[in-house]
Structure 1
Amino acid sequence: MNYEHLFNTLGSRSIRMALVGPKGGFGRSLLVQCRALPSIEIAALCDIDVDGTLATLASLGFDTGAVTVCNNADDVEAARRAGRIALIGDYRLLDAVELDIVVEATGQPETSVRIAENALQRGVHVAMATKETDSVVGPYLNRLAIENKVVYTTPDGDQPSNLIGLVTWARVLGFEVVAAGKSSEYDFIYDPAAHTVDYLEQRHAVSLDGCWTLGDDIATTLAARSQALSMLPQSATPDYCELNVVANSTGLLPATDALNYPLARINELADIFVPREDGGILDRTGVVDVFNCLRRPDDVSFGGGVFVVVRCKDEETWQLLKHKGHLVGKNGRYACIYLPYHLMGLETPMSLFSAVLLGQPTGSTAQLPHAQMVALADRDFKAGETLAMGGHHHTIEGATPLLVDSAKAGRAAPFYLAANKRLLADVAKGDLVPLAALDLDGSALYGAWQRNPTL
């Protein structure tokens, strides 16, 4: 694909963008890249922490005269007439800005759904980086965009959009996608000489010598690795959310409710994510799943990348590719194709160009609720408690995420709809948190969820 040809109208007009949530890693990286692109005009920035946003802009080298803090619509209009970025703390002031696209990156579902609805209803494209919102109401917002003749999309640079792109690339080429997935956030780095595993800034003495090689009994080897590293977390809440978005956008279903999370080396993926009858771990094909990247210090990282495992149709062709270094399973029936990175906002301009210049999302135009992320109670909850969400990964304290087929969800609440809601009824340990137990009065997210299309 020649992207210069694809976006040959770049330079003929300026894309007016508003970024909501500019202080985080995603927002900062997008600002970095937009400064290198004269075709993108940063028209507005929105964050309740105005001073923090100003500090972020200063650290990036923005001139103080390039930004005006705005408290009302008149301020916004004056700032834009002067050619300045309108910096606002109230998202409702975005309505006073002439925009082509809003990039939503607050990480706050109740707020982001309002921002997205407002933009779409006034004919402004939306790139939704708040995957928590997308997992709950992406199908509705996608349909709302179509009704208003604009684009709602996942942004490239986030794993969901990158994986949707890889899946659809494979399908267009005629591949059968057996499994699609991603690596979890952090690598497990094994030093075979020191017999240690590094995970984030932790180092643990452990030997994986007996299970470092996958061997013929894959299930036993994976179980041994998991047991040896049981002192470390082997699942992460955002993975369920991201794969929920991918499932809804592609129709691929969860491999298992808890997802599999094998500790796997990159060169093993085409042997692991295949059907059990062929030696792998899958009970069905056409699924989404996730793995923990296991590597040595001198191995390359998967870097939060994405992959598809496809069925090999011609042995001679795939043996040729195997000799060229591509990942083909030991039995020759499956191959893994992967992108070992996601570059956050540095890649996102591709989605902005696609939406504004081509009128096409880098996500899906046919989102349906194929899967639902739900919350399993790890303890007894009492009526009156709040399902508090917090931490870097927006987890719910006392609840474990699962990703289930929509047909299995029943009346369970979507995970991020339940977050920060007060309970009207007890929820027993081991139960899925039900909608009926939540105080949903005034929830914009619930109102939007009720308008999701059905399968």
Structure 2
Amino acid sequence: MIYHHLYEKFAKKDRVFAGVIGAGNYGTAIVTQEPHTPRLTVAAVADITADAARKAYEQAGIDGDGIVYCSTAEQAQAEIEKGRHVYTDQCEMIARIPIIDVVCESTGIPEASARYALDSIRRGKHVAMITKDCDASVGPILKKLADEHGVVYTPVDGDQHGLLIQMYEWAKSVGLSVIAGGKATDGEFVYDEQRGTVTIKTDKKIHPPYVETISVTGEERKYLGMIPKGKAAEYIAKRAEILSRLPQPGSYDLCEMTVAANYTGLRPAVSTLVHAPLRITEIPIAYCETVNGGVFSERGIIDLATCLRAPEESGLGGGVFLVVRCDNAYSNHVLTTKGQIANYDNTAAVIYRPYHLCGVETSATILVAGLLGLNTGSDTYLPRFDLVKVAARDIEAGEVFGNDHSHQLTARIVPARPIAPGNHASAHLLTGNRARVDIPAGTTITYDMVEEPAGSTIWELRRLQDKTFLA
């Protein structure tokens, strides 16, 4: 990486002062890395409970006289100038502290996220957007408003979509043709051939009807072997059937891919994504064009993969991948014979990053924004696609719509459409709002099925985004 050279030669200031809104797991990881990150001060942390904000600093080893509670921006500015770190339960205060350069929005609540991001932009602060729920719905208009105000709006290193966007930009910069790109789901399917079992390796709680381990016998074992040439579609379909009782990708996985699709222009082959269980070595075999034995009819596809591996093998670690080729025969020979994993006819190879470090590596984005005034996404961010929701069960009028972790709804990625009766509703304009009518299971939620909340920032921004890009 050349970031340290850029900081040394082109930084607009010596140090970046960041504020974090939302002291959950992700936000806390940003805070705990601060003492170890040159040029970065996480000067203020806010959460709806002051105790959570304070604990983020304590986990970083910053406590005692080093931290202080403040309830106003004026108090906070004075304490930060004395060298202290500020925690608060007044989340709107972060953007109003003069010394803050970058606001890291990490609430995970789309309405609050939209409000804090918009206020930060209007007050001349850079925004590192961590709440993907907000980004998927109104990110393009927030970026446009940031550009107009001369500040940065950016996805972040550490989140999978941010890492995929960067990998895609790198591939374009060196002249690779991208056939497909995507992320690995956090869970991995560990196939113990000797025992005849497949177990999901995950840190998430497993809810019925899903189970942690299944047994496989007879013909099923064949389809868990290496995909033979020309059999990708058959093997993927059979694996989906065999492994269906194990936990599957969630709406939050599709949410990240919606953001990445809107930045890169990669598009889903099907609205639910294929999300095949694949060995790393099978990704270029399956996720290439059908003419070369894969499952995609054309190049430029975005999707998910769940890593299928043996107990002793390393996995994808929730990382990201691209399936690429060189359009020059000589270069493609180099690509497919110098250690990269290729498909059977050497027309595609996979390049992958087997990790994402969440907030631990987000400081790179914060520093690029604060020191250089640049984002770590791509130049173009358009509302090409929407994440939308489908009722997983009957929903009664007046029932509150859940978030991406709710079992009430499933997700799809479809072409973006403006707010209008009959149009599929952008997923996170539903979150926390009520159903206007009874909705049968299997129905894709449309705007006329949801009660629009009064005075909603995210709905207001979405209308502006529709007018700007989709009119």
Asked if Structure 1 and Structure 2 have the same fold, meaning a TM-score greater than 0.5 normalized by the shorter chain, the answer is yes
Structure 2 counterpart of 1:338, which letter? Y
Structure 1 counterpart of 2:462, which letter? W
How far residue 13 of structure 1 moved from its aligned partner, in angstroms, is 1.2
2:185 equivalent in structure 1:
184
User: What are the superposed Cα offsets for residues 6-53 of structure 1, whole Å, 9 maximum, x if unpaired?
Assistant: 22156961101001112x222222122221124111221111121133
How far residue 152 of structure 1 moved from its aligned partner, in angstroms, is 0.1
CA distance in 1, matches of 2:95, 2:249: 40
Alpha-carbon distance change, 408 to 92 in structure 1, aligned in 2, over 3 angstroms = closer
Q: What SS class does the counterpart of residue 387 from structure 1 fall into? A: coil
Structure 2 counterpart of 1:253, which letter? R
Using the aligned pairs only, state the percent identity.
33
Structure 2 counterpart of 1:198, which letter? T
The aligned runs of 1:58-207 (5 Å cut-off) are 58-98=58-98, 99-200=100-201, 202-207=212-217
Alpha-carbon distance change, 70 to 334 in structure 1, aligned in 2, over 3 angstroms = same
How far residue 129 of structure 1 moved from its aligned partner, in angstroms, is 0.6
Normalised to the residue count of structure 2, the TM-score between the two structures is 0.91
How far residue 448 of structure 1 moved from its aligned partner, in angstroms, is 1.1
Alpha-carbon distance change, 85 to 306 in structure 1, aligned in 2, over 3 angstroms = same
1:222 equivalent in structure 2:
236
> Does residue 425 of structure 1 match 2:403?
no
> How many residues were matched structurally?
450
How far residue 115 of structure 1 moved from its aligned partner, in angstroms, is 0.8
The more displaced of 262-271 and 9-18 is 9-18
How far residue 315 of structure 1 moved from its aligned partner, in angstroms, is 4.3
Alpha-carbon distance change, 284 to 406 in structure 1, aligned in 2, over 3 angstroms = farther
How far residue 166 of structure 1 moved from its aligned partner, in angstroms, is 0.6
Structure 2 counterpart of 1:451, which letter? L
CA distance in 1, matches of 2:456, 2:352: 39
How far residue 293 of structure 1 moved from its aligned partner, in angstroms, is 0.6
How far residue 398 of structure 1 moved from its aligned partner, in angstroms, is 2.2
Q: What SS class does the counterpart of residue 221 from structure 2 fall into? A: coil
User: What are the superposed Cα offsets for residues 100-129 of structure 1, whole Å, 9 maximum, x if unpaired?
Assistant: 100111111111111101111111100001
The aligned runs of 1:272-283 (5 Å cut-off) are 272-283=286-297
2:206 equivalent in structure 1:
none
Structure 1 counterpart of 2:213, which letter? R
User: What are the superposed Cα offsets for residues 325-366 of structure 1, whole Å, 9 maximum, x if unpaired?
Assistant: 211111111111111111111211111121122221101332
CA distance in 1, matches of 2:13, 2:469: 40
Normalised to the residue count of structure 1, the TM-score between the two structures is 0.94
Alpha-carbon distance change, 350 to 238 in structure 1, aligned in 2, over 3 angstroms = same
Q: What SS class does the counterpart of residue 36 from structure 2 fall into? A: coil
The more displaced of 58-67 and 101-110 is 58-67
2:209 equivalent in structure 1:
none
1:355 equivalent in structure 2:
369
2:380 equivalent in structure 1:
366
Structure 2 counterpart of 1:47, which letter? D
How far residue 320 of structure 1 moved from its aligned partner, in angstroms, is 4.1
1:258 equivalent in structure 2:
272
Gaps of 5+ in 1: none
1:454 equivalent in structure 2:
469
The more displaced of 208-217 and 267-276 is 208-217
Gaps of 5+ in 2: 203-211
User: What are the superposed Cα offsets for residues 213-243 of structure 1, whole Å, 9 maximum, x if unpaired?
Assistant: 2013111112222222121122221111001
CA distance in 1, matches of 2:73, 2:449: 40
Q: What SS class does the counterpart of residue 395 from structure 1 fall into? A: coil
Q: 1:328 aligns with which of 323, 337, 342?
A: 342
User: What are the superposed Cα offsets for residues 274-314 of structure 1, whole Å, 9 maximum, x if unpaired?
Assistant: 12232211133212111111011111110111111123424
> Does residue 379 of structure 1 match 2:396?
no
CA distance in 2, matches of 1:395, 1:439: 21
Whether contact under 8 Å (2:227, 2:282) holds in the other structure is yes
Q: What SS class does the counterpart of residue 171 from structure 2 fall into? A: helix
Alpha-carbon distance change, 78 to 12 in structure 1, aligned in 2, over 3 angstroms = closer
CA distance in 2, matches of 1:11, 1:450: 35
Whether contact under 8 Å (1:11, 1:39) holds in the other structure is no
> Does residue 438 of structure 1 match 2:450?
yes
2:282 equivalent in structure 1:
268
1:338 equivalent in structure 2:
352
CA distance in 2, matches of 1:48, 1:7: 34
CA distance in 1, matches of 2:351, 2:77: 49
Structure 2 counterpart of 1:350, which letter? A
CA distance in 1, matches of 2:3, 2:53: 32
